[in-house]
Chain A
């Protein structure tokens, strides 16, 4: 049980961790430290290392690992081991405690792929993947653009920056279940959103119970809650932009739009990649709102892979099958992230 939940948590971790490593890598790349300086430091260190006995160097390495031990231990036990365990789990039928696990080889994958090739519209997992791809495409686009716009607006503000930044950021601080509950009321057929629409003489849909509108409703909610946190990334990046280049552009007679389009946004590229990658990873793992607001319905229109994995494991006690779905999902997210890196992030080492 515990391992299973940590497995699911680990699947999250893998992507998060992947994301964090990008994050860590980005500032280094975008920082404009002169190459010569970096070279000089490196050279100096190399010379010193060469001058000391290799035993001492080994001692230093050992110390480093000693300092890393607590983290490595956590990483090994709760990440590496559990990930391998999850992949292993996908080769078994497991119901946790009721019957002994049985090795079934690739059977769990076979079942999933045979559903894909016979009638994917009857298979919850493949339905959920289609849903999440739509969801990701729109949410990531929406939240990135909205976050960028909010950040640019805040950047140009002279007064009241703090107030607006706080106001924009509040959705990101609120627990997702709390916002989900609030939006349950807003999306009610007699709720606030439909009331506002009725003022415009539009009769609003029954948002969360209409198979057509339920997923868009969740998309809107998601864009609203996540744009705020990504706005902070953009704000930070905007403040880091080299003034000289912007000033040079101004001196050359570029207008504000041209500066934005031809200088600022290209310079923000590493951050855009970061935001898109993190957003994609997050969107692919959407679970809480689908679970609490619609529980995957109506007609599986908001079923996401994470929710289906949860259902398969904990409702239908098909833990092996759930693990197989996690592995497929992992591969998809991994591939998408790599692709994004190729297309968006064109910085030298990328």
Chain B
């Protein structure tokens, strides 16, 4: 009722956005979330508020002919073909459901926002963590927990770091992670050999990394420079080192910045040490748009990137011999990494919630995930696929996959985008020598706290 009134008031003034303003997507009936099993989750994600009302029961299967509109993005034609193949397989298993795959090219979150504003949201779609809080808290997504309970799909089947960005405080699940990636050290085998260094391996430390970078750097500051490490001023890289130092970006309940700590200072000083010692550089310094390109151009002996670099190397720089090692161990002695994932989710206003769930269950399930792994596209999010035969023939991918147990989601709640920007700016200030580590972190802390307070 209150929602109605608010919309009505705005209508008087904002009459030209008539449809978008009052067209609040119909979240299905039911109130509260008492008594439903949260499928193995002991707690939820404190960063994401649960919607005020959501579906608490699973709809019954429909008998008539159903058409589902499904949206996402596709990075390559090969990936798109595999998605379509899997959707066709789903149609074969469910003869009464027709799937209409309409990928969204370009800026996905912005275009989805337009769809939400005009109430033309696809039935099932890809959900990025950065979109998650807004979609979940405003009740735009179908609560999957009742369906998971019915079909015995456990939240604990998935790695918690991967499921977490799509779960609200009470533990209701709004998306199932479709695939994921972590960071690894991509190292150039020839350069390590030429320098007479052993290749990085599990258990190597921050100090090892600094020493190796020193020995691998050649002609720094010249047009033919090769750096030990090429690093970007990016919160989505530095975050891993912050966790390795024992720090974290936000406090437990996500209400305050926590990175301005001794651990934060230590992690940023470490990150900056490569620049101070002239053993590391920004990708742009060596004329590359991103770390992976600097690595492919053989201007960097090491970069910290994820599995997405593998197909890029195969297609763009097939002659570079490289290996992948786990990230180094920090001062705490414990490994830490970041996880990057996206989910399958359904629109709460879909006319066919049950069919939407069936599709999500299938697309985030073991059959499709194994097909993605075998195509070399992405890592599976299901624990059951940890021993897939593919891994024994591709040990490099296994290195990235094994980080699942000690990764932290690169996701910081409703202000995710702004926090990433503020942190990346702070890192850049330090790397470019514009600001001291302490001042940069304090400034970023002020900014992040303002944003968290809704400034």
- State the CA gap A315–B422 with chains docked (Å): 13
The segment from B151-159, B160-168, B424-432 that touches chain A is B424-432
Cβ distance A3 to chain B, nearest Cβ, rounded Å: 5
- State the CA gap A98–B119 with chains docked (Å): 10
Contacts of A299 in B (CB 8 A): 425, 428-429, 432, 434
- State the CA gap A206–B285 with chains docked (Å): 7
- State the CA gap A346–B275 with chains docked (Å): 56
Known: A88-B13, A189-B284, A190-B223. 8 other contacts (CB 8 A): A88-B14, A97-B113, A97-B119, A98-B138, A119-B446, A206-B285, A298-B233, A316-B418
Contacts of A99 in B (CB 8 A): 138
Interface size on A, residues (CB 8 A): 38
A314-B285 in contact (CB<8A)? no
For window 96-143 of B, CB contacts with A under 8 Å fall at 107, 110, 113-114, 116-119, 134-135, 138, 140
Q: A102-B6, A188-B287, A316-B418 are in contact. Are A92 and B14 (CB under 8 A)?
A: yes
Cβ distance B203 to chain A, nearest Cβ, rounded Å: 35
Q: Is A229 an interface residue (CB 8 A)?
A: no
A1-B118 in contact (CB<8A)? yes
A122-B447 in contact (CB<8A)? yes
B16-A3 in contact (CB<8A)? yes
Q: Is B417 an interface residue (CB 8 A)?
A: yes
Contacts of B425 in A (CB 8 A): 299-300
Contacts of A1 in B (CB 8 A): 20, 113-114, 117-118
Contacts of B16 in A (CB 8 A): 3, 81-82, 85
For window 5-33 of B, CB contacts with A under 8 Å fall at 6-7, 9-10, 13-14, 16-17, 20-21, 23-25
Cβ distance A186 to chain B, nearest Cβ, rounded Å: 12
Q: Is A286 an interface residue (CB 8 A)?
A: no
A97-B14 in contact (CB<8A)? no
Contacts of A189 in B (CB 8 A): 284-287
For window 427-455 of B, CB contacts with A under 8 Å fall at 428-429, 432, 434, 443, 446-447, 455
Residues of B whose CB lies within 8 Å of any CB of A are 3, 6-7, 9-10, 13-14, 16-17, 20-21, 23-25, 107, 110, 113-114, 116-119, 134-135, 138, 140, 223, 233, 282, 284-287, 415, 417-418, 425, 428-429, 432, 434, 443, 446-447, 455
A100-B434 in contact (CB<8A)? no
Q: Is A18 an interface residue (CB 8 A)?
A: no
B446-A316 in contact (CB<8A)? no
For window 177-200 of A, CB contacts with B under 8 Å fall at 188-191
Contacts of A3 in B (CB 8 A): 16-17, 20
Cβ distance B345 to chain A, nearest Cβ, rounded Å: 14
Q: Is A116 an interface residue (CB 8 A)?
A: no
Which of A82, A92, A100, A189 neighbours the largest number of chain B CB atoms within 10 Å of its CB? A100
Q: Is A142 an interface residue (CB 8 A)?
A: no
B20 touches which of A92, A97, A191 (Cβ 8 Å): A97
B21-A100 in contact (CB<8A)? yes
A122 touches which of B3, B9, B20, B443 (Cβ 8 Å): B443
Q: Is A228 an interface residue (CB 8 A)?
A: no
Q: Is A103 an interface residue (CB 8 A)?
A: yes
Query: Taking CB as reference atom, which chain B residue is nearest A114?
Result: B455
Provide 20 A-B residue pairs closer than 8 Å at the C-beta atoms, listed in order of the A residue.
A82-B16, A95-B134, A96-B116, A97-B119, A98-B138, A99-B138, A100-B3, A102-B6, A103-B9, A190-B223, A191-B287, A208-B284, A209-B285, A210-B432, A211-B432, A297-B428, A298-B432, A314-B113, A315-B418, A316-B418
Which 3 pairs of residues, A with B, have the shortest CB-CB distance?
A: A97-B117, A98-B138, A1-B117
Cβ distance A124 to chain B, nearest Cβ, rounded Å: 9
B134-A98 in contact (CB<8A)? yes
Contacts of A119 in B (CB 8 A): 446
Query: Taking CB as reference atom, which chain B residue is nearest A77?
Result: B16
Query: Taking CB as reference atom, which chain B residue is nearest A189?
Result: B287
A100-B284 in contact (CB<8A)? no
B284-A111 in contact (CB<8A)? no
Cβ distance A298 to chain B, nearest Cβ, rounded Å: 6
Cβ distance A123 to chain B, nearest Cβ, rounded Å: 9
Cβ distance B222 to chain A, nearest Cβ, rounded Å: 10
- State the CA gap A3–B117 with chains docked (Å): 10
Query: Taking CB as reference atom, which chain A residue is nearest B431?
Result: A298
- State the CA gap A81–B418 with chains docked (Å): 32
Contacts of B286 in A (CB 8 A): 189
Contacts of A101 in B (CB 8 A): 6-7, 10, 14, 21
- State the CA gap A297–B282 with chains docked (Å): 14
Cβ distance A185 to chain B, nearest Cβ, rounded Å: 10
- State the CA gap A188–B284 with chains docked (Å): 8
